[in-house]
Amino acid sequence: MKYRKFGHLDFKVSALGFGAMRLPCLNKDMAKIDTVEATAMLHYAIDQGVNYVDTAYVYHAGNSELFLGQALKHGYRNKVKLVTKLPSWKVESARDFDKFFNEQLEKLQTDRVDFYLLHALNKDLWPKLRDLDVLSWAERAIAAGRIGCLGFSFHDSFDVFKEIVDAYDKWTISQIQYNYMDVENQAGIKGLQYAASKGLAVAIMEPILGGRLVNPPQPIQAIWDTAVHKRNPADWALQWVWNQPEPAVVLSGMSTLAQIKENVANADRSGINTLTAAELALFDQVRRKYHELTAIPCTQCNYCMPCSNHVDIPLNFDIYNSGLMYDKPDNARGQYGWIAERQRLGMADANQQAGECRECGECESKCPQAIPIMKWLSVAHKVLGEKQPYAAKLE
Contact 46, 80 (CB under 8 A): yes
Pairing of strands 3-5, 12-14: antiparallel
Cα gap 272→281, rounded to integer Å: 17
Tell me what pLDDT residue 349 has. Answer: 82
In sequence order, the β-bridge partners of residue 204 are 176, 250
In Å, what is the CA distance from 17 to each residue of 32, 46, 92?
22, 10, 31
3-state DSSP helix/strand/coil % of the chain, to nearest 5: 45, 15, 40
Cα gap 280→365, rounded to integer Å: 40
Digit-coded pLDDT (tens) for 215-246: 999 999 999 999 999 999 999 999 999 999 99
Which phi and psi (to 5°) does residue 205 adopt? -110, 160
Dihedral of alpha carbons 116, 210, 279, 186, sign? negative
395 pLDDT above the threshold of 90: no
Tell me what pLDDT residue 342 has. Answer: 84
The answer to whether the pTM exceeds 0.85 is: yes
Contact 247, 192 (CB under 8 A): yes
Mean pLDDT for all residues in the chain: 95
User: Residues near 234 by Cβ (< 8 Å), separated by ≥ 6?
Assistant: 208, 213, 214, 262, 263, 266
Return the SS3 of 181: coil
346 pLDDT above the threshold of 90: no
- Taken in order of first residue, the domains within the chain and their CATH numbers are 3-283 (3.20.20.100), 313-385 (no CATH)
Structural element, H or E, at residue 67: helix 64-71
Tell me what pLDDT residue 254 has. Answer: 92
Cα gap 13→201, rounded to integer Å: 10
Digit-coded pLDDT (tens) for 156-179: 999 999 999 999 999 999 999 999
Cα gap 142→153, rounded to integer Å: 18
How sure is the predictor about 143, in pLDDT bands with cuts at 50, 70 and 90?
very high
293 pLDDT above the threshold of 80: yes
* Inter-residue long-range contacts of 22-30, CB under 8 Å, 24+ positions, other chains counted: 22/253, 22/254, 22/255, 23/60, 23/64, 23/67, 23/255, 24/255, 24/256, 25/60, 30/60, 30/61
Digit-coded pLDDT (tens) for 71-110: 999 999 999 999 999 999 999 999 999 999 999 999 999 9
- Mean pLDDT (whole number) for 29-50: 97
- Cis upstream peptide for 216 (omega within 30°): no
- Mean pLDDT (whole number) for 55-64: 96
